[in-house]
Chain A
Amino acid sequence: MKKVVFAGVVAVALAIAQQRSGDFLDRIPPSAAARPNPYEGQRNAPLAGRKLYARHCAECHGREREGHGKAPPLAQPLVRDAAAGTLFRAITDGSLNRGMPSFAAIPEPQRWQIVTFLKGR
């Protein structure tokens, strides 16, 4: 009986862990993904985005987007290939249960500039 209870507790814990580590970007609604990036193709936007990334994001995600601890790496195809609107929403809302706060305080044009940088090579 004890083994059954222990197995049940482990199963619930694993399910919760899986839920928490499920793909953050996949949970963003498709309507958000449809928003176009007004800075796409602008020459200076990735440079401004790089500067803003260093200011607001690098402390957790690493200077080279390599990730640190709970903060995932951002220099990966999953991020580069994501819709600009999805990344924009992720920055805006954050994910409180993963420790990422909302960055809505950054003005909207600057959030799009960060997105432009993240989608670059």
Chain B
Amino acid sequence: MHLSCNIAVILLLASVVPLCAQEPPTFVTYTHQMEEPGNLEISTYGAIGSPNGGSPDGGHGFYGSATEFEYGLRGWWTTEFYLDGQATTHDSIIFTGFRYENRFRLVPREHWINPVFYVEFEDTSGADKSLLEVVDNDSQADLAVPNAATRLEKQRELETKLILGSYAKGWTIAENFIAEKNLAHAPFEFGYAAAVTRPLALEARAEQCTFCRENFQAGVEAYGGLGTNRDFGLPDTAHYIASLLAWSLPSGVTIKVSPGFGLTGSSLPFLLRVGVSYEIPQIGRTMRNAFRGGR
């Protein structure tokens, strides 16, 4: 219900504001691409998985959801607000919290590598299964605990990322280094994400088209935990590798899908991510025009 409502809102907006945005196909890795000033992007992402491959004693299948509102405040400053929730089979459907994040571009011009600083405050419960990042020793065992127990665990965390991005001959290459700190207790937790993506065609065709190759982007991303400042390293950490595919429709809607595979015993064996997003150009002007009855 939650996902279908979000998709309905996005499709409704898409029907009244024709625009096409080229969203990166990544789910976990940030590129250095910023939101255009004045634009609002609404997205919904889902993570579908099952701890221990759905074995009877290994926990139940889940759908972790994150609904994102991303706004370009300045060319160098993008702000985002997320609402998270999840549904677990044979358990419950719950709201798990919110996240507020900001990204700051650190250099004004394009260089061969472009740094962006990211800072986020999140107030979620331990039941959150959106899996927007993997840090520390996050493992599939955490995802098998019943919601009644995990929802009592408060996670008020400050997360920072150093995002590095490059464009080279049509390829987008991005690396993220993550440091997260629970404000109440616990040490710093670390993680990483990296991605390489490319449009299927670099040249645009002259005519409008829906299924032409320029509207598709494909790639691969890898992400995982790196322990804490007390036990930094790879042992007992979860790592994933996932293929990426994004399809940007002429109406402005972008649909993304990413089947991912766990690489260690701590990882979910299989994780499917899906996403739908839509960008409303110049939201302030669009709203003014709407209330004045158009231009």
User: B110 contacts A101, CB within 8 Å?
Assistant: no
In the complex, residue of chain A having the shortest beta-carbon distance to the beta carbon of B168: A108
Which listed residue, A51, A52, A93, A100, touches B110 by the CB 8 Å rule?
Answer: A93
Q: Are A108 and B202 in contact (CB under 8 A)?
A: yes
Contact with B along A66-107 (1 / 0, CB 8 A): 001000000000000000000000001111111111101111
B185 within 8 Å of A (CB atoms): no
Docked Cα-Cα span, A55 to B169, in Å, equals 21
Whether B203 and A113, one on each chain, are in contact in the complex, defined by CB atoms closer than 8 angstroms, is yes
Q: Is B58 an interface residue (CB 8 A)?
A: no
Residues of B close to A110: CB separation below 8 A: 202-204, 214
Q: Which of B51-101 contact A (CB under 8 A)?
A: 72, 74-76
B205 close to A (CB within 8 Å): yes
Chain B residues lying within 8 Å of A44, measured Cβ to Cβ, are: 205-206
Residue from the list A48, A55, A97, A98 in contact with B20, Cβ < 8 A: A55
Determine whether A59 belongs to the interface, using a CB cutoff of 8 Å to chain B: yes
Contacts of B34 on A, CB cut-off 8 Å? 101-102
Asked whether B172 lies within 8 Å of A51 as measured between CB atoms, the reply is no
A45-65 Cβ-contact flags toward B at 8 Å (1 or 0): 001110110011001100000
Tell whether, in the assembled complex, residue B33 and residue A59 are in contact, meaning their CB atoms are under 8 Å apart. no
For the side of the interface on A, what is the size category? 20 to 34
Q: Mark B126-152, 1 if CB is under 8 A from A, else 0.
A: 000000000000000000000000000
Q: Does A30 contact B (CB under 8 A)?
A: no
The answer to whether A99 touches B74, judged by C-beta atoms less than 8 angstroms apart, is yes
Closest CB of chain A to B223's CB: distance in Å? 21
Contact A113 B75 (CB under 8 A): no
The 8 Å CB contact of B39, one of A52, A59, A113, is A59
Query: Contacts A48-B203, A105-B172, A113-B204 given: A59-B281 contact, CB under 8 Å?
Result: yes
Please indicate the chain B residues that have their CB under 8 angstroms from the CB of A48 in the complex: 203-206
Instruction: Say whether, besides A55-B19, A55-B20, A96-B105, A104 and B203 are in contact (CB < 8 Å).
Output: no
Separation of A32 and B202 alpha carbons in the complex (Å): 21
**Residue pair B75, A96 in contact (C-beta under 8 Å):** yes
Q: Tell me, in angstroms, the Cα distance from A44 to B74 when the chains sit together.
A: 34
The reply on B230 being an interface residue by CB < 8 A is: no
Q: Give Cα A99 to B74, complex, Å.
A: 6
Q: Give chain B residues whose Cβ lies under 8 Å from the Cβ of A95.
A: 75
- Shortest Cβ distance from B110 into A: residue: A104
**Any A CB within 8 A of the CB of B210:** no
The distance in angstroms between the C-alpha atoms of A44 and B204, with both chains bound, is 10
Chain A residues in 8 Å Cβ range of B167: 104-105
B36 and A101 contact, CB distance less than 8 A: yes
Q: Which A-chain residue is minimally distant from B279 (CB atoms)?
A: A59
A36 at the interface (CB under 8 A from B): no
Complex Cα spacing A59 to B205, Å:
21
Which of B21, B203, B204, B285: most chain A CB closer than 10 A?
B204
B31 within 8 A of A: yes
Q: Within the assembled complex, what's the spacing in Å between the Cα atoms of A102 and B38? A: 15
B177-217 residues with Cβ-Cβ distance < 8 A to A are 199, 202-208, 214
User: Given A51-B208, A93-B109, A108–B170 Cβ distance below 8 Å?
Assistant: yes
Residues of B within 8 A of A (CB): 19-22, 24, 31, 33-39, 72, 74-76, 105, 108-110, 167, 169-170, 172, 199, 202-208, 214, 281-282, 285
6 nearest A-B pairs in the assembled complex, by CB-CB distance: A59-B281, A47-B206, A96-B75, A107-B202, A101-B75, A48-B204
Having A101-B75, A102-B109, one finds 10 other A-B pairs with CB under 8 Å, namely A48-B203, A51-B204, A52-B204, A55-B19, A55-B20, A60-B38, A96-B75, A101-B72, A105-B31, A107-B202
- Can you give 7 A-B contacts (C-beta < 8 A)? A51-B205, A55-B22, A105-B167, A108-B202, A109-B170, A110-B203, A110-B204
